[in-house]
Chains A and B, each alone.
Chain A
Amino acid sequence: MTDPNNNYFVSVAEIAAKLDQTTLISQQLSLTASNARAVALRAGEKAAGIRPLTDFIDRLAEITILSSKKINALAVILSKTSVKKMRADNAIERFNAVYKSGKEAKYIDSIDKQHQSCKLEQEQLEATYRRQINQLSIELKVLSSELRNAIILATLSRVEASQSGAQYQDALINVADNVEGAAAKIKEHIKYSQHKVSILEECVTLE
């Protein structure tokens, strides 16, 4: 088994990359909303329920874009912290080796101060790292619960489709499919990220 501690900064970078894709998919939701609006315009009175629906899809797209951008930014910051932490961990490891091999060195005490401040920095980075992982985990939950609305919106689109007559049925089913598809993909990304985050959280508590 590989030690996940060794590549935590790789995991974080992977999360950031995944969430970058999420932002792109959220942008497709926006496109779906404007398609739905075009249908509503054409349908006029026949599909009175579509207009509020497009507003909801629009809002969902907006929230998803904002949220995934925010999570992506968090993951990028976390990625920087984790690389810094790795460098500090690395330096501490080397200091420890010096304490071991240089026991009899005349000026061994002269590295105490730097060792201490390096350790302090490492502890601070550790705390920052924990805080940022926690934040990331919370934001992923928020996005996940927002996506529940996508199912409702897709269902409503299908209901509208069945009531709007053959002319607009296909277009509305298409809207429903798009909303559902985007939501499913984003959910997959969230699940992937949450899994990675939970491994990182485990490592932090194990230390």
Chain B
Amino acid sequence: MKTQMLFENGSHAWIMFGRDDEKTEKIIDTNQYMVVTSKNALLMDPGGIELFSAMLSAVIKQVPADKITHLFASHQDPDIISSLGLWDQALPNATLHSPWIWEGFIRHFGMENITYAPIPDEGRLLKIDNVNLEFIPAHYLHSSGNFNVYDGEAKILMSGDIGAALEAVDAPIYVEDFDEHIDKMKMFHQRWMPSNRAKNDWVKRVRKLDIDMMCPQHGRIFKGDNVKRFLDWFEALDVGVATNSG
């Protein structure tokens, strides 16, 4: 499991974990992100059961375990949060922020100690120490209850499955050539995302945000102009294509 510092200033840091070369081939590669503030840490989309040991090992190289007081699951998928039952044993005092519609489902992963803090459909703010984070609605992209995390100070948008690409475990962290990258993203967005309406609404809202880095849960990070390139490409893309009539 590789660790990459994405952003650091006096108040907080963004760290990415991913490119786990020990995982078995058939498991989709995932990126996990952590925001570290003065006294706490938020772990975002902590990943599947299979990843847990590698993740915990990587995380405690950065912060002590009891500092991880917040977890975030953008939606209910196994690659996002099936490790919950194990984190529940490791972090008994943490709070999990996740879409309200998934509470009854996500609890099936096993949650006896961690507290569930439901996020309403319209999103909400999360202040950790002096850092302000925002849960931005991204419903139907792809999950019907789904959020991104925006940090206005770091200008980072953690976009979950939006911007995801399927690629090799040794792929670079950042998108280098956007046009070349399209091939790795196209099928994922067309097949997993169900709604053009939801997609266009999200693009419209996200265009108004000041973003330096867009960080998806699979694949590579979009930096600088590549963020706008992605928004333009995504807006023009026809999604929800797997209807039977073709």
Contacts and interface: CB of A to CB of B under 8 A. Distances in A.
Contact of B52 (A94, A105, A108): A94
A114 B61 contact: no
Given A102-B60, A106-B60, A107-B60, A114 B53 contact: no
Contacts of B91: 114
Given A98-B57, A98-B60, A118-B89, A110 B52 contact: no
A118 B86 CA distance: 11
Contacts of B86: 90-91, 94
A98 B62 CA distance: 14
B57 A110 contact: no
Contacts of B90: 91, 95, 111, 114, 118
Interface size class of B (residues with CB under 8 A): 20 to 34
Given A91-B86, A105-B60, A111 B65 contact: yes
A105 B56 CA distance: 10
A59 interface: no
Nearest to A105: B61
Nearest to A96: B53
Nearest to B92: A114
Contact of B56 (A109, A111, A117): A111
Interface residues of A, number: 22
A104 B60 CA distance: 10
B54 interface: yes
Nearest to A91: B89
A184 B53 CA distance: 51
A101 B66 contact: no
17 contacts: A90-B86, A91-B85, A91-B90, A95-B56, A95-B90, A98-B56, A101-B54, A102-B58, A102-B60, A104-B61, A105-B61, A106-B60, A107-B64, A110-B67, A111-B90, A118-B89, A118-B90
A87 interface: yes
B63 interface: yes
A42 interface: no
Interface string B82-126: 000110011110000000000000000010000000000000000
Nearest to B52: A94
B85 to A, nearest CB: 6
B53 to A, nearest CB: 4
Interface in B35-89: 52-54, 56-58, 60-67, 85-86, 89
A182 B137 CA distance: 62
Contacts of B92: 114, 117
A90 B84 CA distance: 13
Nearest to B87: A91
Contacts of A108: 60
Contacts of A104: 61
A80 to B, nearest CB: 13
